[in-house]
Amino acid sequence: MKNLRRKTLAAASAMTLGVGLAATGGLAPAAAAGPDTAYLVLAPQGASTSKAAARVAAANGTIVASYDQIGVLVVRSTNPNFTTQVAGAGVESVASTAGLGTALDEGETVEVSAADVATDDPTKEPLYGQQWDMNMIHLPQAHAVNAGRSNVVVGVLDSGISSTHPDLATQIAKDKSTSCIGGVTDTTEAAWNPTTSDHGTHVAGTIAAAVNGVGVAGIAPGVKVAAVKVVNDDGYIYPEAAVCGFMWAADHGFQLTNNSYYIDPWELNCRNDARQRPVWQAVQRAIRYSQSKGVLNVASAGNSNYDLAHKITDTGSPDNGTPETRPDLTSACMDLPAEAPGVVTVSAVGPTGAKSYYSSYGQGVVDVTAPGGDTRFRTQGAKSTITDGILSTTFNTVTRTNGWGYKQGTSMSGPHATGVAALAISAHPGLTPGALASFLERSSVPLACPAGVYNPVPLSPAGPTAYDATCSGGARNAFYGAGMVDAYNAVK
């Protein structure tokens, strides 16, 4: 049976180019205090949270964020019996989120001098010549028609965006940016800037880096990006932060969000699992609410080279503790947010346009594909060629300096699709999320399945069959969905 290997988020490798309401109360049965723990408390769908709030108070809990629109409370408590004591009328489900964070895998960062970089300059951007990904999606032709409109706002749910980066400083909607760490919003600029990870800065550059004669070109430089920080300083994405992010986007006029992350340490979040179901419910409610407010959410397929349409056995989760074996998984187990209804799921390709060796896939799961980089195909996996990654904006969290650099993963393909969607909604305003998703697919260029067993990296240290994958389907297939996103087709 296939073993599910966990590779969180997407930055498998990187190279940076340096330039210089709370409510407490009630009496719970006496008990020794436990650790301060976060919980999601859900009221029945469509019901008020007032009864749930009262039960939280009676169980010695503190509400730190209340999303009444979807009946979700984010709660903290030191009561070790909180889960059992809060249960009852007005509470549909409750789950501790302790241990449910997902760690970022940033990969190695190697700084080099900007003087070492070639400056091929077809778009007046010094580093555009190394952005092979942009020509692949016909970006120059698209920009001649429409480079995006400033009333389009894309939420980057990630690790923050550097507000001082020369390619991003003019691109950020600061009045719509926030930190959602802990499920609570903090709109101060310092709160939504990166602290320990530049992942969000890299993603933001792909979407909307300015065409200003400095650095790289973004796909939709005319639109605005908003930083919605959901990754904490330890590199974890907790469910309450993700819920907060979707709710913020819904209530602040965003048209799109990019989600290059997993919400849970389990590769697949099972709604038939007692502990995971409340998380699944809360996230689903938040996503549905955002969609009702005009937001299209785009998510990365993942980097486990896993067929999401044929889930069998997971032996590599959770990735933040001792892995357990979960056999005979069913369709009740989903990769969130990628497999949530209405979310556009994106796989990755390398410079040849073939599926990246690491990219997860799945017939009926993947909607479109986009460049994410493949640094191993040239050597069949023996070593990396960093320039076959995706070049974008970076921020060195040690030296606190801005720069440009390479990363690879479906974390990088996701923002390509998001950027093209931003161009599409700029050129064709008024599209609903569903219509925009459909348009993105229709404007993509179909890619055929490779014949037989596909593995571009048989010399990988992981073994000669470690990255075997088999594609299924026709014009719409498991590897590429409806095909490669195309910026020019999106604005015509």
Cα separation, 410 vs 8, in Å, equals 10
Tell me which of 199, 202, 252, 416 is the catalytic residue. Answer: 199
**Catalytic site residue 143?**
no
List 93, 317, 411, 413, catalytic entry: 411
CA distance 362 to 302: 11
The question of whether 411 is a catalytic residue gets the answer: yes
Of the residues 133, 158, 388, 486, which is catalytic?
158
Phi, psi of 73, rounded to the nearest 5 degrees: -115, 135
96 is catalytic: no
Q: What is the largest CA-CA distance in the chain?
A: 71
The residue to which tokens 């819904």 are assigned: 250
- The residue behind tokens 């590769």 is 267
Residues classed as catalytic:
158, 199, 411
